[in-house]
Amino acid sequence: MSIRKFISMITIVFVLVISAHAAVFGAEKLTILTTNDHHGHFMANRKGEYGMAARMTLVEKIRQEVRESGGHLLLLSGGDVNTGTPESDFLKAEPDIKAMNLMGYTAMAVGNHEFDKGLEVLKQQIQWADFPFLSANIFWEKTQQPAFVPYIIKKAGALRVAIVGLTTTDTPMRTSGENVTGLVFKEPEKVIQTLMPTLKQESDMIIAVTHMGYYKDGNHGIDAPGDVTLARRIEGIDFIAGGHTHELLTSPYKINNTLIVQAGEWGKYISRTDLEYSRETGILLKNYQLIPINLEIKELQSTAMDQTRAGQSSPLKISPHPEMTALLAPYAAKVEKQLQQQIGTVDGYFEGNRDVIRTQETNLGNLVACAMASITGCSMGIQNSGGIRDSLPKGPVTFRDLIKINPFGNTISQVTLTGRELKTYLEKVLSLPAGHGSFAQTWGLCATLKKGKLIKISVNGKTVADDSQYSVALNNFIATGGDGYPDISGHLSYLDTGYTMDQAIIELFKHRETVTMGEFQIQNAIKRF
């Protein structure tokens, strides 16, 4: 056989192989559904909004539609399944994870709140799950080995999809130190940069499922960089399914050819992104919807959403899926009796809404800080706003309400500082910015700051003297450096009292027939100029 004829035959075979592969591959359709910041909301609320039973009905409907159209579906979570409702917190999020199994979640990012119950509980949750908890940037300190599955490869027809997990480096500040002992949180962009050659070789599309936060234009302030910064600096990430900031993105945010989505919180919405991929055109965005799950019109309006731009239809009633209802009902019943026990009464609305309490003094913040000071006999109390997770409506207060506002199980620490030490400490604490969980709620304290400098301070109405002694009650999370607070656990006078936050609030209610708004009214105690 001549060389020319041999080369011609090889060329024909090569062309036939390429043509056959192209015919097999064609254009693949991929639908990506995402949720994030679930925070234990496996049950619908009293109005019948959200809940995992209705969510499953919606997911199954979309899954069938996608299947019938010849497409493929991924169901992803941006993390923080844990911490937020009494039913879930009591049961260590077992119902939430078992419900995600039933719903067919593909993967989940490891969020900072996954560490709230400690590593042993987290290990148990991973065992419960039929899907991987992904994080490529968390390592064991001793071995420098990944602490979680870094990424997975999923097939969508002929399309190979890499799904890599990333977690905020703020996590050690957002949970108690003992919960992350032995772990190292490395910079996500550095870690994924080293992974990119492998991911590109093993896949046709790269998805990052992250718990890092969406910050407009990448302006993350004192927080660790989020999804926008990641997409801006790392080329080759096609899609980011985000979480952490509870952001409701009414359309995908595109930067550097990366699409970023995030779907609010608590499973109130599912984000749906329909993509089409071929080797000729690459990835095409065909449709995006932010789908509400039985939300009232008022709730929809409060998001200031442009429903047309979101591709969202008018909200329709979604029936709960019977199989999911049957799975979840026993879990809810298991803790109901204990949660219904009344601990007291309030005569009005005590404000703990995230958007309010992280920006200003509130009566609930005053109540919590007062409870800590009272049970320890301290001169003042300090509470980070991120530790208060809900409001108290007028009327009876139950254990359920208590756990809703304070789900973390923190203990109360106390420390005695000189006036000079107190001024130095408070100048840092009271300068932490509004809009973050670190924003301080206080009791027994009045202060004035000008451009971050303390110019006036008094405790219980008396001006602070440098050489006098002042006792401070605060939760052990911020006492040990959580949320960016100075770590004062090394002070000679430091003591973890062992009292829990729940005990302190219950004790406060015991001494009052009714807790009144008047006692805890807003004093504008901290003035900033």
pTM of the complete model: 0.77
Separation between Cα atoms, residue 124 and residue 113, nearest integer Å: 15
User: How large is the average pLDDT for residues 423-438?
Assistant: 96
Structure confidence at residue 19 (pLDDT) = 37
CATH 3.60.21.10 in the chain, residue ranges = 24-333
Amino acid at site 507: E
**What tens digit of pLDDT does each residue of 295-319 get?**
986 545 444 344 333 444 335 799 9
**Up-side HSE of residue 429: CA atoms within 13 Å toward CB?**
27
Separation between Cα atoms, residue 136 and residue 151, nearest integer Å: 7
18-22, 366-370, 432-436: which has the minimum mean pLDDT? 18-22
User: How large is the average pLDDT for residues 490-504?
Assistant: 87
* Domain 24-333 grouped into CATH 1.10.10.10: no
**What tens digit of pLDDT does each residue of 122-172 get?**
999 999 999 999 999 999 999 999 999 999 999 999 999 999 999 999 999
Confidence of residue 70 (pLDDT cuts 50, 70, 90): very high
328 touches 99 (CB < 8 A): yes
* Domain 340-528 grouped into CATH 3.90.1640.10: no
H/E stretch holding 10 reads helix 3-25
138 touches 175 (CB < 8 A): no
372 touches 378 (CB < 8 A): yes
277 touches 32 (CB < 8 A): no
Structure confidence at residue 300 (pLDDT) = 52
Confidence of residue 25 (pLDDT cuts 50, 70, 90): low
Amino acid at site 51: G
CATH 3.90.780.10 in the chain, residue ranges = 340-528
Residue 115's DSSP bridge partners are none
* pLDDT exceeds cutoff 60 at 10: no
**What tens digit of pLDDT does each residue of 337-355 get?**
888 999 999 999 999 999 9
Structure confidence at residue 411 (pLDDT) = 86
Structure confidence at residue 297 (pLDDT) = 60
**What tens digit of pLDDT does each residue of 351-385 get?**
999 999 999 999 999 999 999 999 999 999 999 99
**What tens digit of pLDDT does each residue of 517-529 get?**
999 999 899 999 8
For the chain, what percent of residues have pLDDT higher than 90? 78
18-22, 369-373, 447-451, 500-504: which has the minimum mean pLDDT? 18-22
Separation between Cα atoms, residue 178 and residue 181, nearest integer Å: 5
**What tens digit of pLDDT does each residue of 384-404 get?**
999 999 999 999 999 999 989
**What tens digit of pLDDT does each residue of 161-208 get?**
999 999 999 999 888 888 999 999 999 999 999 999 999 999 999 999
